């Protein structure tokens, strides 16, 4: 249990996570960290099994704590089929001839992977009432400590309530070898926090929404840490990998402390996730979450900058002003990091903004612009600016072999 006393109305924040281990060779501690469990069900995919799963399996087997292992195909998506596979395999040790027999079902699920495997396993963990943990293999998103999981179900992407990881084990030398698109996705997922927290502050002042300054500051510090560290990612500098991993974990803790993703997800996620959903509806595999969110962030920044220039709303203008230096830093960062874009076609880009407003029930600048009769005009005009200032190429052009 991680706890933090607070000055907000919640007075105290807590999450059921017992251990967060971020270190070089952290994987060697897996059997020790999971010493309270005796029948651990390990789930990996072919890629993550090769880089970390096999070693974790060996250590757990030697310690007498392994139940069995499931290795899904490389790049397995968090979809209903894979949730089903994990669910089926989780119970395979029960005696087939007697459903009332003492069950050998696992007492713990260990996901070895990043976003997709984590989401798949914590769904199964939640449904079966078995605790789970994760050996993270890439700093690609902030969902290790999250409370919900977005899963692909048919041609829909649905956000389900899920378990929070009991243990999070990040082996830095494994993470340093993660594919470069996953490292970029981690940065993309985290830079949006400036936008998300600005949205949150606006809703606090306009709608009286609950707001926790301590959580907001914790997430903002994590974001600054990741932006700074992004310079060393290409060289796979271990300090940069550590700073990125810890920043993403802190952001995830902020979500879990808050009990909702409000501190970590605003306009940028609603736009990026709309683009993801459009892919799903068309039967395509959605792009990496953090890559979509990165593009959504630059889009949101330009919406905010334009509103700042044009508005004399005394409730909103000073709030945006507070974030302008952070927006400038992100623009600088993008000139060297060059996060790739996925949506470059105007119609689709604009749809992300217009449909994004109602992606979920959350007040953001999109709703503000809509209420002031400006959303369509802003969506139409922001496109050229975003492409000119932030787009240095598409994901497909930069990583043609990906998926
Ligand atoms: Zn608080
Ligand atoms: Zn995200």
The domain segmentation of the chain, as residue ranges, is: 2-175, 180-398
pLDDT, tens digit, 9 for 90 and up, residues 342-365: 999 999 999 999 999 999 999 999
368 pLDDT above the threshold of 80:
yes
Question: Length of the chain in residues, anyone?
Answer: 403
Rg of the chain on CA atoms, in Å: 21
How far away, in angstroms, is 78 Cα from ligand 2 center? 15
Q: If pLDDT is split at 50, 70 and 90, which confidence band does 154 have?
A: confident
Other beta carbons less than 10 A from residue 325's beta carbon? 9
Instruction: Give the closest ligand to the alpha carbon of residue 211.
Output: 1
Q: pLDDT tens, 125-139?
A: 999 999 999 999 999
**Taking all residues of the chain, what is their mean pLDDT, rounded to a whole number?**
93
pLDDT tens, position by position, 76-107: 999 999 999 999 998 755 555 565 655 567 99
Q: 21 alpha carbon to ligand 1 midpoint, in Å?
A: 24
Confidence at residue 100, expressed as pLDDT on a 0 to 100 scale:
61
Ligand 2 centre from 127 Cα, in Å? 23
| Bridge-based pairing state of the strands 12-15 and 2-5 | antiparallel
CA–centroid distance, 271 to ligand 2, in Å, is 11
Kindly report the number of other CB atoms within 10 A of residue 84's CB atom. Answer: 12
pLDDT, mean of residues 48-64: 97
Ligand nearest to the CA of 262: 2
> Nearest bound ligand to CA 254?
1
CA of 216 relative to ligand 1 center, distance in Å: 9
What six digits make up the tokens of 8? 């907000």
Distances from the Cα of 34 to the Cα of 20, 38, 65, 109, 138, angstroms: 12, 9, 8, 11, 21
Cα(269) to centroid(ligand 2), Å? 6
The total of other beta-carbon atoms located within 10 Å of residue 69's CB is: 20
> Who surrounds ion ligand 1 at CB < 5 A?
6, 8, 212, 214
Question: Is 401 or 91 the better-scoring residue by pLDDT?
Answer: 401
Q: Report CA(35)–ligand 1 centroid distance (Å).
A: 32
**37 has a pLDDT exceeding 80:** yes
Tell how far the Cα of 375 is from the centroid of ligand 2, in angstroms.
Answer: 23
Identical topology for domains 2-175 and 180-398: no
- Cα of 305 to ligand 2 centre, how many Å? 22
CA of 171 to the centre of ligand 1 (A): 30
Residue 159 token pair = 């956000």
Task: Please give the distance, rounded to the nearest whole angstrom, from the Cα atom of residue 381 to the centre of ligand 1.
Answer: 38
CA atoms within 13 A on the CB side of 136: 33
**What's the pLDDT at 201?**
98
Q: pLDDT tens digits, residue range 294-316?
A: 999 999 999 999 999 999 999 99
What backbone torsions phi and psi does residue 154 show, to the nearest 5 degrees? 60, -135
Separation of 272 CA from ligand 2 center, angstroms? 9
Position 159 scores a pLDDT of 85
**How far apart, in whole angstroms, are the C-alpha atoms of residue 392 and residue 312?**
34
The label of the residue with tokens 């087939």 reads: 96
pLDDT at 193: 95
C-beta atoms surrounding 98 within 10 Å? 8
How far CA 28 is from CA of 41, 53, 231, in Å, comes to 18, 12, 29
Class of domain 2-175: alpha beta
Q: Which ligand is nearest to the CA of 11?
A: 1
Identify the pLDDT of residue 144: 81
Better-predicted residue by pLDDT, 106 or 112: 112
Ligand 1: centre distance to CA 166 (Å): 22
Q: How far is the CA of 215 from the centre of ligand 1 (A)?
A: 6
Determine the 3-state secondary structure of 266 from DSSP. Answer: coil
Ligand nearest to the CA of 261: 2
DSSP label of 49: I
Assigned fold of 180-398: Dehydroquinate synthase-like, alpha domain (1.20.1090)
Question: Token pair of 226, please?
Answer: 């990741």
């Amino acid at each position: 249990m991680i706890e933090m006393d607070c000055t907000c109305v919640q007075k105290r924040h807590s999450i059921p996570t017992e251990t967060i281990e971020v270190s070089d060779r952290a994987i060697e501690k897996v059997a020790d960290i999971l010493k309270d469990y005796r029948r651990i069900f390990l789930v990996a995919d072919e890629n993550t099994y090769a880089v970390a799963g096999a070693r974790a399996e060996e250590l757990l087997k030697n310690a007498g704590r392994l139940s069995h292992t499931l290795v899904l195909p490389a790049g397995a998506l968090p979809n209903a089929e894979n949730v089903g596979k994990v669910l089926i395999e989780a119970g395979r040790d029960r005696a087939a001839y007697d459903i009332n027999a003492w069950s050998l079902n696992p007492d713990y699920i260990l996901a070895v992977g990043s976003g997709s495997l984590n989401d798949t396993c914590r769904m199964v963990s939640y449904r079966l009432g078995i605790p789970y943990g994760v050996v993270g293999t890439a700093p690609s998103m902030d969902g290790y400590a999250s409370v919900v999981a977005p899963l692909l179900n048919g041609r829909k992407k649905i956000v389900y309530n899920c378990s929070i990881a009991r243990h999070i084990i990040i082996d830095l030398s494994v993470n340093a070898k993660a594919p470069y698109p996953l490292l970029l996705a981690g940065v993309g997922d985290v830079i949006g926090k400036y936008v998300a927290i600005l949205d949150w502050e606006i809703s606090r002042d306009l709608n009286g929404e609950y707001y926790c300054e301590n959580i907001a500051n914790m997430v903002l510090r994590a974001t600054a840490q990741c932006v700074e560290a992004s310079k060393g990612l290409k060289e796979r500098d271990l300090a940069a990998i550590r700073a990125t991993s810890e920043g993403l974990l802190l952001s995830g803790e902020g979500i879990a402390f808050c009990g909702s993703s409000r501190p970590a997800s605003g306009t940028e996620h609603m736009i990026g996730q709309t683009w993801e959903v459009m892919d799903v509806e068309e039967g395509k595999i959605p792009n990496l979450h953090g890559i979509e969110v990165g593009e959504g962030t630059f889009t949101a920044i330009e919406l905010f900058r334009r509103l700042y220039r044009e508005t004399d709303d005394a409730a909103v203008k000073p709030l945006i002003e507070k974030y302008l230096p952070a927006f400038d830093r992100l623009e600088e960062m993008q000139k060297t990091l060059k996060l790739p874009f996925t949506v470059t076609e105007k119609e689709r880009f604009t749809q992300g903004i217009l449909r994004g407003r109602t992606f979920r029930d959350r007040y953001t600048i999109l709703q503000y612009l809509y209420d002031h009769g400006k959303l369509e005009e802003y969506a139409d005009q922001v496109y050229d600016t975003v492409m000119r200032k932030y787009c240095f190429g598409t994901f497909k052009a930069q990583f043609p072999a990906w998926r």
